[in-house]
A and B are shown apart, each in its own frame.
Chain A
Amino acid sequence: MISKQYLITGLIMGIVGIGMSLLFRLQLAWPEQPFGIFEATLGKWAPDGVMDPNVYLALVTIHGTIMVFFVLTAGLSGTFSNLLIPLQIGARDMASGFLNMISYWLFFLSSIVMLASLFVEAGPAAAGWTIYPPLSALPQAQPGSGLGMTLWLVSMAIFIASSLLGSLNYIVTVINLRTKGMSMTRLPLTIWAFFVTAIIGVVSFPVLLSAALLLIMDRSFGTSFFLSDIFIQGEVLHYQGGSPVLFEHLFWFLGHPEVYIVLLPALGITSEVLATNARKPIFGYRAMVASILAIAFLSTIVWGHHMFISGMNPFLGSVFTFTTLLIAIPSAVKAFNYITTLWKGNLQLNPAMLFSIGLVSTFITGGLTGIILGDSTLDINVHDTYFVVAHFHLVMGISALYGLFAGVYHWFPKMFGRMLNKQLGYIHFWITAVCAYGVFFPMHFIGMAGLPRRYYTNTAFPYFDDLADINVVITIFALIAGAAQIVFLYNFIHSMFYGKRAEMNPWKSNTLEWTAPVEHFHGNWAGDIPEVHRWAYDYSKPGHDEDYIPQHIPLKKGEQELQH
């Protein structure tokens, strides 16, 4: 099925993305030291085994691009929306199977193009995943801004098309194809999350496409949307009247909602996994839905917090600080609701559950530093430092990744009809959890010390010499974390073929996907689609023998459906 295609493509891109991060972490911990692995992987970009500064910038650029878009957007939304939307709402298939297929193959094509860009002579795009012009517009500014950048733009344009087609499908399916009795208020929170995520995607991705098209025009057709008054490589360029700040607005108009496109599915998965494994309803279902909607709405009006010191009018800075600190509130409500879901539960600590609890932990840690960054005044001294890098990795890199893992561990039986090995799952979780904090907690300190991001080396500044051993600690944790993922990959591949055969509902969950037969076939259910009589969270309901009541079980005589 398409969800498996998305997952495997996402995992392969993830291997590339994480591999790249380990390479540049080696450079940061032991600057300008020769490494055999650099020669092996980077070829001409590591003469005598020492990393070239240009390829360092290319690595951080492509790492960011791959992880945000290919792994955490397509790999997360693509996998779980396609898997769960039809099954959890009680539909035979997505609204348009054809568009769905196209959306996957466009994703596949964009992945190929992005990987191909790694091999061009002047190097891949290297202006940061944010690709601000003029650096990204002018090949004379940086080698990677030639063909590498062109391929990046082509890949992303195709990716955006894929994402939009997918999102349209998800929205239409959720609105139109819910089974009898599946009102919006009986939807599992996963579906709410995927649905709202798709809406945000439809609203914001086209703006990135417009920015990319305007950039293509500046690069190839002599226009001046983003460029003005530039002297480079000994000549005055012809561009007049454009502004790089315009690009920043257009980019971040997608860029900010994008991080919620990454996060909301992970939060939806967490709600589902926590409730199922706590044998308790998710606490505050209505508040959770409201907070998803609030986060979605607010996410479209906070983008300027990435631009506080861009040179834009300071009044805008005030506006965006205000809206950004508002968005902390629904996020906080979600975190409190998750914690209350655990309270007085009967916690089944499966690997998926551990990752979901881990997500709440890193989401809180990362989210709290967002309060510092969202305050325009405080951002002045930490903008573009490692403080920002630590923040977004905790709240997006780790939390959303945990969501991905939780989803894989929880729905592997559904996708492959087999169980993942739980002991390997425990080893995977605990090593990853310790290393995640080991990498990113110390990073806040080097950021507060004033160390800028995207620096190939810190040795040009004696002032930063005392940060060197922190960088070594970070890198060592990163290397161990990378190795721990091998445990997961082994488990994943081995269990796909040799895992214990799964029963129909191994986690004793309430949602409809577990009523479909283990061996998947088109149409999902052999007979009629189940009819829904209750919400998804009747776990440990008083007056019942079992500690779970699937959604399709009719109410007992005299039983009340939870008023919500």
Chain B
Amino acid sequence: MTTLLTIAILLLISIAVWQITKIFQVAQLNQKVDDSQVANDKDNDWNGKLMFAFLVFIYLITIYSFWAWGDVLLPESASEHGKDYDRLMWISMVLIFFVQIVTQALLHYFSYKYRGRKGLKALFYADNDRLEFIWTIIPVIVLAALILYGLYAWSNIMNFEEDEDALVVELYAQQFNWKARYAGADNVLGDANVRFLQDFDGLNIVGIDASDPNGLDDVVVQELHLPVGRKVIFKMRSQDVLHSAYMPHFRAQMNCVPGMITEFAFTPTTTSEEMRQNPDMVAKVQKINKIRYDKSQELIANGEESLESYQFDYLLLCNKICGTSHYNMQMKIIVEEEKDFNAWMAQQRTFAQVIQ
């Protein structure tokens, strides 16, 4: 039925357009036949003005987007390097917005100001090497500065020291969930490979090599806990296809590649509880819960279960297409005080305990 309706509407629109075209054609009968489809002064006038109006539209949509949706942007970062990230982002954004505002204005203003009309003659102005030089060298200088800053930040983030007191954690990705493996008391992850997965009747869920003593004190969990203020070095593996460990609040992302161990390190600066108190986050969670409440009313009316209300938690999401449930491959991340982290860790079972 809907298909029929859609086809009917499309048909009617086509007929309407056809008839409108006929009207335009009839209205142009007194013009010179050859020129009728070439823009004339009236067309230029209309479209020139529309070009200027379009500039206003571009500015308005920019302002509106920030006004309506500025609050969906990520809150301040929850990691140390995240501050550098956010500063670099801010500077880059200011720069590109400045260029955008100026160039769009010139483009659309010229399109309006120099719209063709009788008597107007164009200026034969073919080149100006000095001008070319100026608008080459300025981008070179600005971009060079931006690149240098960016590379400095990149080097700091990616070339991290393997500190003694950093927490080493493996993130293990598979279709379609995450596991985390702590290195245990020795802070060394035991060797692991997919060919060990079938050992121990499926209890060896990340494929630890039981013959490696370093692995016996490893702790495998499905909810990531991190102590605040302590550097964590993630070693990432994948069981099957490419996945990507994306932790946006920490400004962290790294692909998980089967057959390879990839790395990323950061130091969390804000506990989950502290982030929940962040005013931006409070507003966001309120907004989300309002949406969920409204949706729940609908569901209840249909006899379905209502949605649970939402409390903020840091998230690990998959960010590299990995198959059917790519959209729902997540793990909760809890950042807490060191003592709470230790208390939680004490309750987890080591690999040795699991395979007993």
**A interface vs B, CB < 8 Å?**
35-37, 40, 53-54, 57, 127-128, 132-135, 138, 141-142, 227-232, 236, 241-245, 278-281, 283-287, 309-311, 314, 317-318, 321-322, 325-326, 328-329, 332-333, 335-340, 342-350, 353-354, 357, 360-361, 364-365, 368-369, 371-372, 375-378, 380-381, 383-385, 419-424, 426, 430, 433-434, 437-438, 441-442, 444-446, 448-450, 452, 454-458, 460-463, 465-468, 470, 483, 486-487, 490, 494, 499-503, 506-507, 537, 539-542, 547, 562, 564
Contacts and interface: CB of A to CB of B under 8 A. Distances in A.
B292 A465 contact: yes
Interface hub of A350, A434, A452 (most chain B Cβ within 10 A): A452
A124 to B, nearest CB: 15
Contacts of A278: 114, 122
B217 to A, nearest CB: 24
B72 interface: yes
A365 B113 CA distance: 22
Interface hub of A236, A342, A438, A448 (most chain B Cβ within 10 A): A342
A127 B324 CA distance: 10
Contacts of B2: 35-37, 40
A377 B21 contact: no
Contacts of A283: 125-128
Interface in B85-112: 85, 88-89, 92-93, 95-96, 99-100, 103-104, 106-108, 110-111
Given A244-B257, A462-B288, A487 B248 contact: no
18 contacts: A128-B321, A230-B258, A278-B114, A283-B127, A314-B158, A339-B103, A343-B114, A344-B122, A354-B47, A377-B150, A377-B151, A438-B61, A441-B62, A454-B327, A457-B327, A460-B330, A463-B288, A506-B37
Given A361-B104, A437-B58, A243 B3 contact: no
Nearest to A503: B34
B143 A441 contact: no
A284 to B, nearest CB: 5
Nearest to B198: A236
Contacts of A343: 110, 114, 123, 125
A461 B315 contact: yes
Contacts of B73: 445, 448-449
Interface residues of B, number: 132
Interface in B19-70: 20-21, 24-25, 33-34, 36-39, 43-44, 46-48, 50-51, 54, 57-58, 61-62, 65, 69-70
B345 interface: no
A-B pairs, 10 with minimum CB distance: A228-B259, A36-B2, A450-B248, A314-B158, A419-B37, A311-B262, A231-B194, A460-B328, A349-B47, A344-B123
Contact of B34 (A371, A466, A506): A506
A558 to B, nearest CB: 16
A127 B10 CA distance: 33
A333 B93 contact: no
Contacts of B195: 229, 231, 236
A230 B123 contact: no
B143 A325 contact: yes
Given A377-B150, A378-B89, A483-B13, A466 B326 contact: no
A348 B307 CA distance: 58
A205 to B, nearest CB: 24
B226 interface: no
B135 interface: yes
Contacts of B74: 381, 448-450
Contacts of B110: 339, 342-343, 345
B155 interface: yes
B254 interface: yes
Nearest to A135: B241
A75 B126 CA distance: 32
A23 to B, nearest CB: 13
Contact of A339 (B69, B107, B308): B107
B239 interface: yes
